[in-house]
């Protein structure tokens, strides 16, 4: 682990413009996450993607923001309100840093960070991918749905919540991609989807390959 968990409110100067842009894009299920995502933004609008990534990295590396190299995947994601089984606990390995920007006004469903419970055993949760893949197709069979409910309930027993970030509009959070985390359930009587901008950084360095990382530097003292 090389990054701390951080939070910043008021990330975008123009969040309404970002949301309006997000509303022009096409969303599809990817089979690996709840709801619907766009194609990677570097394939749609590279300048927008690059500026967003550099703006995020400037919070962690303010003295190096003009000298950074990185590899990242950035997408908008929509999750419908009252959609069940969207809060599975997981990591984002092999990425190194995960960032999330919350873009739904009036929605406070955010993200929780967890650690493994000392005396509980983690269980396999592959059945969730069957659920994600059927979001626009047929529903799961009765037996598969019963398995999903059982595994979903039991897998929480292996973890203990340590941090809870509310999904405040225009809030930015970042955490080490190896951190266990899960979305908070989005329950609402409104029809708005939960819109987020999610970035997975796969590597970060400067041109001289001498970039210093926060936790590593702290632990040297």
User: Tell me: the pLDDT tens digits for 28-75?
Assistant: 988 888 889 999 999 999 999 999 999 999 999 999 988 999 999 999
- Name the E strands within the chain: 6-8, 36-37, 68-79, 97-102, 111-116, 159-165, 172-176, 180-183, 194-206
- pLDDT, tens digit, 9 for 90 and up, residues 77-91: 999 988 888 899 999
pLDDT at 135: 61
CATH assignment of the domain containing 50? 2.60.120.620
| 3 state SS of 88 | coil
Answer yes or no: is 84 within a domain: yes
- pLDDT, tens digit, 9 for 90 and up, residues 6-15: 999 999 999 9
Read off the tokens for 81.
Answer: 């309100």
Dihedral (C-alpha) 119, 124, 129, 134: value to the nearest 10 degrees?
-90
pTM of the model: 0.93
Answer yes or no: is 129 within a domain: no
pLDDT at 128: 81
C-alpha dihedral sign at 156, 72, 9, 65: positive
Answer yes or no: is 65 within a domain: yes
- pLDDT, tens digit, 9 for 90 and up, residues 130-140: 877 776 555 77
| Partners of 160 in the β-ladder | 115
Give residue 23's domain range.
Answer: 6-112+163-204
For residues 196 and 77, the answer to whether their CB atoms sit within 8 Å is yes
Answer yes or no: is 194 within a domain: yes
Determine how many CB atoms are found less than 10 A away from the CB of residue 208. Answer: 8
Q: How many domains does the chain have?
A: 1
Rounded distance between C-alpha atoms, residue 27 and residue 33, angstroms: 13
Answer yes or no: is 30 within a domain: yes
Exposed/middle/buried for 167, CB within 10 Å: 0-12, 13-18, 19+?
buried
* For residues 189-213, average pLDDT: 93
The residue that leads in pLDDT, 180 or 127, is 180
pLDDT at 23 over 80: yes
Answer yes or no: is 214 within a domain: no
Answer yes or no: is 125 within a domain: no
């Amino acid at each position: 682990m090389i990054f701390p968990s951080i939070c910043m409110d008021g990330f975008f100067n123009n969040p309404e413009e970002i949301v309006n842009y997000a509303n022009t894009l096409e969303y599809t299920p990817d089979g690996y996450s709840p709801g619907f995502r766009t194609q990677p933004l570097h394939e749609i609008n590279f300048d927008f993607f690059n500026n967003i990534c550099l703006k995020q990295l400037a919070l962690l590396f303010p003295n190096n923001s003009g000298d950074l190299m990185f590899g990242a995947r950035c997408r908008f994601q929509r999750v419908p309100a009252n959609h069940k089984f969207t809060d599975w606990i997981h990591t984002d390995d092999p990425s190194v840093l995960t960032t999330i920007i919350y873009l739904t006004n009036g929605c406070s469903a955010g993200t929780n960070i967890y650690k493994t419970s000392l005396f509980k055993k983690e269980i396999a949760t592959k059945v969730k991918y069957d659920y994600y893949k059927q979001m626009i197709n047929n529903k799961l069979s009765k037996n598969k749905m019963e398995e999903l409910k059982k595994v979903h309930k039991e897998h929480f027993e292996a973890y203990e919540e340590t941090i809870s970030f509310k999904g405040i509009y225009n809030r930015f959070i970042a955490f080490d991609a190896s951190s266990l985390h899960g979305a908070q359930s989005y329950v609402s009587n409104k029809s708005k989807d939960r819109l987020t901008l999610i970035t997975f950084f796969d590597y970060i360095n400067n041109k001289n390959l001498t970039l210093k990382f926060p936790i590593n530097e702290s632990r040297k003292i």
